[in-house]
Amino acid sequence: MSKITIVDLMKKKSMGQKITMLTAYDFPFAKIVDESGIDIILVGDSVGMVVQGLDNTLPVTMDEMIYHTKIVSRGVKNAMVVGDLPFMSYQTSIEEGVKNAGRFLKEAGASAVKIEGAADFSDLIKSLIKSDIPVMAHIGLTPQAIHKMGGFKVQGKTQDAAKRLIEEARIAEDAGAFSIVLEAVPMHVAETITNELSIPTIGIGAGPHCDGQVLVLHDLLGLYERFLPKFAKRYVNLKEEALKAISLYKVEVEQGIFPSEEHSFK
Ligand code: KIV
């Protein structure tokens, strides 16, 4: 099986097949996600919260994103790997944005990049496409803008705000984005955007009508306890399983049960 491409994603949209996307931040989990057949692995700047233990994504650096994308790419055979441009890696100038986006493809094995925003970055999106760097846009709740938004809040709730979101989505498509993440927007707004765009929409907290869905892996696996957004679903509690296994190891060492002969050399 060859790697998923943007052409495959367009085909899925046209055939009404759902696109699946998950985050991953390291080799072992990237390998598991890839083996499950997930279409897109996003190396999200959510790494700051779920791996680095930060309160938000703002301090995550470009070098950290390159490191995580590199080790994810090593574990992936089939999924499309998308690198997430962190805060202040593309906001300062188009030149800086293109240079940093290029690093994901040149150094880290990604096939595309994601940026938060659309209308404010339409020129950047165009420049990235000119440089042969596929771009996924991201609108609605954009966590890099938490201070401007006043927190992690649902976007597009009023008629005017919904209109602006729909317009932003159109701008992203016109600028050349190959898909767009819709985060924390009312489901009827996401449905309208999905119907109006020819590129796939990937929802997170945007209801069931998007062309695809994305979740943060640590939310799905029960590895992030601080906060579970209303839109995230915990499919398993791996923290509990890990705690059980580690506690058993501790007891077995303390009681002389481990290592047994089986784990020793003669
Ligand atoms: O950083 C991230 O994981 C994301 C997804 C939630 C879309 O941007």
Amino acid at 182: L
Q: Which structural domains are found in the chain, ordered by start?
A: 6-235 (3.20.20.60), 238-266 (no CATH)
Amino acid at 252: E
Dist CA 115 CA 121 (whole Å): 9
Residue nearest to atom 8 of ligand 1 (CA): 44
pLDDT value at position 228?
87
Residue nearest to atom 1 of ligand 1 (CA): 44
List pLDDT tens digits, range 116-134. 999 999 999 999 999 999 9
Q: How far is CA 131 from the centre of its chain?
A: 22
Residue 105 near ligand 1, beta carbon < 6 Å: no
Amino acid at 200: P
Determine the atom of ligand 1 nearest the C-alpha atom of 23. 3
Average pLDDT over residues 82-104: 98
How many residues are present in the chain?
266
Residue 220 near ligand 1, beta carbon < 6 Å: no
Dist CA 208 CA 91 (whole Å): 31
List pLDDT tens digits, range 167-204. 999 999 999 999 999 999 999 999 999 999 999 999 99
Determine the atom of ligand 1 nearest the C-alpha atom of 214. 7
pLDDT value at position 244?
98
A 10 A CB-CB count for 10 gives 16
Residue 21 near ligand 1, beta carbon < 6 Å: no
pLDDT value at position 83?
99
SS3 content of the chain, % helix, strand, coil (to 5): 45, 15, 40
- The verdict on whether 183 is a catalytic residue reads yes
pTM, 2 dp: 0.97
User: Which residue's entry shows tokens 């390159």?
Assistant: 66
Dist CA 9 CA 29 (whole Å): 23
Residue 181 near ligand 1, beta carbon < 6 Å: yes
Dist CA 108 CA 105 (whole Å): 6
Structure tokens at 82: 């998308």
pLDDT value at position 227?
86
Determine the atom of ligand 1 nearest the C-alpha atom of 215. 6
* pLDDT surpassing 90 at residue 97: yes
In a 3-state reduction of DSSP, which class is residue 214? strand
Amino acid at 6: I
pLDDT band (50, 70, 90) for residue 145: very high
DSSP state of 78: S
Dist CA 76 CA 33 (whole Å): 8
Structure tokens at 8: 């495959």
Residue nearest to atom 5 of ligand 1 (CA): 44
Residue nearest to atom 2 of ligand 1 (CA): 44
Classify each residue of 147-183 as buried b or exposed e, where b means 16 or more C-beta atoms within 10 Å of its C-beta.
eebeeeebbbeeeebbeebbebbbbbbebbbbbbbbb
